[in-house]
């Protein structure tokens, strides 16, 4: 198909709530759904033309067993009378030392159990402007010299500006620490991070997500922008993709270091997109000057998307440098 990079999911989410209930490699903290990651990674790296294989992992979205001492150290969302939308994922608090120690050990176990070329940090490394109101979060804000009250922080532009900056930097530092742990056993490691499309399109989105395109382009080898018009409820998918590309192209080395990640499934309608539609989106992105294009999911059980339709589009650009 002309694919040169695979993001291989190393965690299992059987209940579909966005958090890892189990892992595909032996580890100290979560059940092993099946010891598959190492075997599949080896098959892909040795038996296919794929040049780079990334382990796709959560950063915070781990559902530790109930008896685990850090199981309840979760991100807490401040109640909102306006029905403020939460980020959705159950996540461990990035400010809880015991929970983050468990995450670091999970990444260390991964690094010892398989050989791979990179890490893809999932889109769960995020906090809304109503998070994290847990005791660990509030204690951290006090250490930053901020009020231990999210409403007071949001009511002040200077306080909110400091808060947003410090939270984004904290999440970036956490992923850097995790990458450093993995590099002890995988010195060749590259990194990529998933970003929501709104982080690219809306300058205010860092307040809502604690994610920044500028920071991501500086810190990670690649930034995987979720270029998913159906998920973003955009009727004009072509216009949506063009806006994304324009914003990324405005950044130094933006197109060079950004992967545009398309959706092959419309999860809201519970349907696979026609392979011809996905192929056209890929053509559109390449025509706009995009260097790196990917899609998710690849469902081999249903045969979607159709390799016969997608392969010619990807193969036309398969000589591009590997990611």
SS (H, E, C) 244-308: HHHHHHCCCCCCCCEEEEEECEECCCCEECCHHHHHHHHHHHHHCCCCEEEEECCECCCCECCHH
5-226 maps to which CATH number?
Answer: 3.20.20.80
Q: What is the dihedral of CA 151, 157, 159, 163, to 10 degrees?
A: 80
Query: What pTM does this model have?
Result: 0.94
The candidate with the shortest Cα–Cα distance to 37, out of 61, 57, 21, 19, is 57
Per-residue pLDDT of the chain (323 residues; tens, 9 = 90+): 889 999 999 999 999 899 999 999 999 999 999 999 999 999 999 999 999 999 999 999 999 999 999 999 999 998 876 655 556 789 999 999 999 999 999 999 999 999 999 999 999 999 999 999 999 999 999 999 999 999 999 999 999 999 999 999 999 999 999 999 999 999 999 999 999 999 999 988 888 889 999 999 999 999 999 999 988 888 788 999 999 999 999 999 999 999 999 999 998 888 999 999 999 999 999 999 999 999 999 988 888 999 999 999 988 876 544 44
Placement of tokens 């500028």 in the chain:
214
Residue ranges covered by each domain of the chain: 5-226
CA distance 232 to 243: 13
């Amino acid at each position: 198909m002309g694919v040169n990079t695979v993001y291989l999911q190393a965690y299992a989410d059987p209940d579909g709530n966005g958090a890892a209930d189990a892992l595909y490699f032996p580890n100290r903290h979560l059940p092993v759904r099946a010891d598959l990651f190492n075997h599949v990674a080896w098959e892909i790296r040795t038996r296919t033309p794929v040049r780079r294989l990334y382990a796709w992992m959560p950063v915070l979205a781990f559902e530790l067993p109930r008896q685990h001492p850090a199981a309840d150290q979760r991100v807490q969302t401040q109640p909102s009378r306006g029905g403020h939308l939460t980020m959705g994922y159950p996540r461990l608090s990035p400010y809880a030392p015991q929970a983050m120690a468990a995450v670091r050990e999970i990444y260390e176990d991964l690094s010892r159990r398989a050989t791979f070329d990179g890490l893809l940090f999932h889109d769960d490394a995020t906090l809304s402007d109503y998070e994290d109101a847990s005791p660990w979060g509030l204690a951290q804000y006090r250490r930053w010299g901020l009020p231990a009250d999210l409403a007071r922080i949001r009511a002040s532009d200077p306080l909110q500006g400091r808060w947003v900056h410090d939270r984004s930097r904290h999440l970036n530092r956490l992923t850097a620490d995790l990458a450093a742990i993995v590099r002890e056993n995988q010195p060749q490691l590259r990194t990529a991070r998933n970003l929501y499309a709104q982080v690219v399109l809306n300058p205010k989105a860092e307040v809502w997500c604690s994610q920044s395109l500028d920071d991501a382009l500086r810190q990670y080898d690649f930034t995987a922008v979720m270029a998913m018009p159906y998920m973003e409820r955009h009727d004009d998918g072509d216009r949506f993709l063009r806006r994304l590309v324009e914003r990324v192209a405005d950044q130094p080395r933006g197109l060079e270091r950004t992967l545009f990640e398309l959706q092959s499934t419309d999860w809201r309608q519970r349907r696979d997109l026609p392979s011809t539609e996905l192929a056209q989106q890929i053509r559109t992105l390449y025509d706009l000057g995009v260097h790196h294009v990917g899609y998710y999911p690849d469902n081999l059980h249903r045969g979607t998307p159709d390799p016969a339709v997608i392969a010619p589009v990807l193969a036309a650009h398969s000589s591009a440098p590997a990611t």
